[in-house]
Amino acid sequence: MKTVAELQAAREKASVDLALRLGGTSASKYKRNVLVCGGTGCTSSHSEDIIKAFNEEIEKHNLTDEVKVVRTGCFGLCALGPIVIVYPEGCFYSMIEKENVPEIVEEHFVNGKIVEKYLYKETVLEDGTIKKYNETDFYKKQFRVALRNCGLINPECIDEYIANDGYAALAKCLTELQPKEVTQIILDSGLRGRGGGGFPTGKKWSFIADGPQKYVVCNADEGDPGAFMDRSVLEGDPHCLIEAMTIAGYAVGANQGYVYVRAEYPIAVNRLQKAIDDARAAGMLGKNIFGTDFSFDMEIRLGAGAFVCGEETALMTSIEGNRGEPRPRPPFPAVKGLFGCPTVENNVETFANIPQIILKGAEWFSSMGTEKSKGTKVFALGGKIKHTGLVEIPMGITLREIIEEIGGGVPHGKKFKAAQTGGPSGGCIPADLMDVAVDYDNLTAMGCMMGSGGLIVMDEDNCMVDMAKFFLEFTVDESCGKCTPCRIGTKRLLEMLDKITNGEGTLEDLDKLEDLCNYIKANSLCGLGQTAPNPVLATLKFFRDEYVSHVVDKKCPAGVCKNLVTFVIDQDKCIGCGKCAKNCPVDTIVKTDYIAPGHKLASYKIESGKCVKCGACIDGCKFNAISKQ
């Protein structure tokens, strides 16, 4: 495609197929579109087999001209995967197995009757009517900007992307706007970096220095465990990233882009590579895009699993082929970045917002969100929550809405304890702060951080000291070793936490812990070290009583820290079956002389001292007679 007119013609041609999914009528020969999630989550539960089964059954019933099967990106509600959505009805089949496919094809596609028993329960009303999935609790408060195409288009088909306004923003920039005007729009929109720091994106672009060679880098090294929105964009809408990076290249005067992706995301890497090849073939990348004198191309570089490479200078060092150690700033990457040249670096979700901002305007974007946090944010809900998955919501929604309404609350009737945000760099939000509006500044004020948007819910069975230790183990492992406060400081923090969880801590240790945390924060070279103590500080602030239980009472209230837990058999509940004694690897469970009222056999007891606290007895007991104290 060499001109905007050609792009427009391609859009009109391709949009026929997409109209059905967008709620309109379609002139397409297909009467039905069957969308099957091909994201990592659903693929892991064999959605590829489901696609195959649909195609086979559709062929068997001679429906190939009427029903089209589309592999899309993630729908978001991963807890119910594999998911299949059928248009025009917009009905939402959940937890589908390939064995269910013949029945759906026969009943739904041939006989026109939706198969209710496979539908997501919440979409079926009491009177039997079926509501669209986007009216359910999980979806109704969401507003998708960055994820707008995920679960809607086939990510491996450039035509479907073009059909839904794809590459229109790039065309607008190249033919109607000066580079400075593009930067101004992003500045006015109030978009802030979605990777963690929250630095205004437009400002970052405006800082770029002059030079003969400049670069645009996309940080897709989503190392924050429990966050998977960037993966989802790469898997579900890779062209969006390509378009956005090209726009950034135009705005700052760069002609080469690099995407640094985690090697742990093979599906994302393959789809992005295909998208780059297709974009190049279509003239969206390469020389003289849309016949202008602007040229831009990009390539993928694979990360190899180093958390510190999410830090922008470390990421650039890694692209250069080195150990991914951070560099002191200044000079900032905008002046001296990749290969020593001026570089602008943003993360995937940030980029994913750009084309929509260009098309719909800065005002549209800044009308969403709070005063200083504009637009939407994608959160990855995980841990002890009913609806695990991805949600995109306007900034400023409360944590309670996210967890209780959208997320469906904590399962199994357990009590919510805390939500962890920002991964190993973040903190946790306790139950009594659940009504605070979630945005960058409120989270920072709580000693937490937005981070990349991982949101892990913890219930009463999680020990907060153990969680702090878990994150410190992670940062000790991931500290690159370049600066002393981080390399040695985090190790000492972990040793102190070890001591506390082993029941050897003292109250004095808690003060020492806090002092060392503040020292590491103030003196580390890069973001990893500066934020590594956050999980400890936040848990100390909000859950100090749990720390005190560990050091004073030598108890772990959640029953997680093994050395502080005693296993006890309730002799009145024990029926004397002896299963626990058989399961015990160290033979420390013995029969007593006591027969509880109503029981026939003598009960058992655990002899203290030898117990290794493996939990085999509890797992095997059907009578709930064994507990941790």
Positions touching another protein (CB under 8 A) are 40-41, 43-45, 78-79, 81, 222-228, 231, 263-265, 301-307, 318-324, 339, 380, 382-384, 388-389, 420, 423, 454, 456, 458, 462, 467, 470-471, 477-478, 480, 615, 619
Smaller CB separation from another protein, 21 or 384: 384
360 to 7, 169, 369: CA distances (angstroms): 18, 9, 16
Q: Taking the complex as a whole, how short is the minimal distance between the CB of residue 553 and another protein, in angstroms?
A: 24
Smaller CB separation from another protein, 257 or 324: 324
Place of tokens 């005002």: 363
Q: Taking the complex as a whole, how short is the minimal distance between the CB of residue 40 and another protein, in angstroms?
A: 5
Structure tokens given for 57: 């059954």
Q: Taking the complex as a whole, how short is the minimal distance between the CB of residue 599 and another protein, in angstroms?
A: 27
Nearest 5°: the CA angle 598, 602, 604 is: 120
Please give the single-letter amino acid code of residue 529: G
Closest CA to 343 of 365, 364, 367, 312: 312
Q: Taking the complex as a whole, how short is the minimal distance between the CB of residue 441 and another protein, in angstroms?
A: 24
Tell how strand 589-591 and strand 32-37 pair up.
unpaired
Smaller CB separation from another protein, 190 or 337: 337
Q: Taking the complex as a whole, how short is the minimal distance between the CB of residue 462 and another protein, in angstroms?
A: 6
Q: Taking the complex as a whole, how short is the minimal distance between the CB of residue 217 and another protein, in angstroms?
A: 13
Place of tokens 């709620």: 23
Smaller CB separation from another protein, 79 or 182: 79
Report the number of secondary-structure helices (H) and strands (E) in the chain: 25, 17
Smaller CB separation from another protein, 4 or 306: 306
Q: Phi first, then psi: give them for residue 352, nearest 5 degrees.
A: -65, -20
Smaller CB separation from another protein, 355 or 424: 424
The SS3 call for residue 357 is helix
DSSP string, 399-444: HHIIIIIIS---GGGPPEEEEEESGGG-EEEEGGGTTSB-SHHHHH
Q: Taking the complex as a whole, how short is the minimal distance between the CB of residue 109 and another protein, in angstroms?
A: 27
Smaller CB separation from another protein, 394 or 426: 426
Smaller CB separation from another protein, 217 or 227: 227
Q: Taking the complex as a whole, how short is the minimal distance between the CB of residue 470 and another protein, in angstroms?
A: 6
Which DSSP symbol is given to 332?
Answer: P
Residues 6+ apart with CB under 8 A from 286: 280, 295, 296, 297
362-365 contacts, C-beta under 8 A, 24 or more apart? 362/185, 362/186, 362/187, 362/188, 362/189, 362/190, 363/188, 365/145, 365/189, 365/190, 365/191
Q: Where are the beta strands (DSSP E) in 330-400?
A: 343-347, 376-383, 389-394
Smaller CB separation from another protein, 320 or 504: 320
Smaller CB separation from another protein, 17 or 235: 235
Q: Taking the complex as a whole, how short is the minimal distance between the CB of residue 78 and another protein, in angstroms?
A: 2
Strand-pair partners of 490: none
84 to 43, 106, 151, 160, 179: CA distances (angstroms): 12, 16, 10, 19, 42
Structure tokens given for 16: 């026929």
Q: How far apart are CA 45 and CA 145, in angstroms?
A: 27
Q: Taking the complex as a whole, how short is the minimal distance between the CB of residue 79 and another protein, in angstroms?
A: 5
Q: How far apart are CA 451 and CA 440, in angstroms?
A: 9
Q: Taking the complex as a whole, how short is the minimal distance between the CB of residue 223 and another protein, in angstroms?
A: 7
Smaller CB separation from another protein, 149 or 479: 479
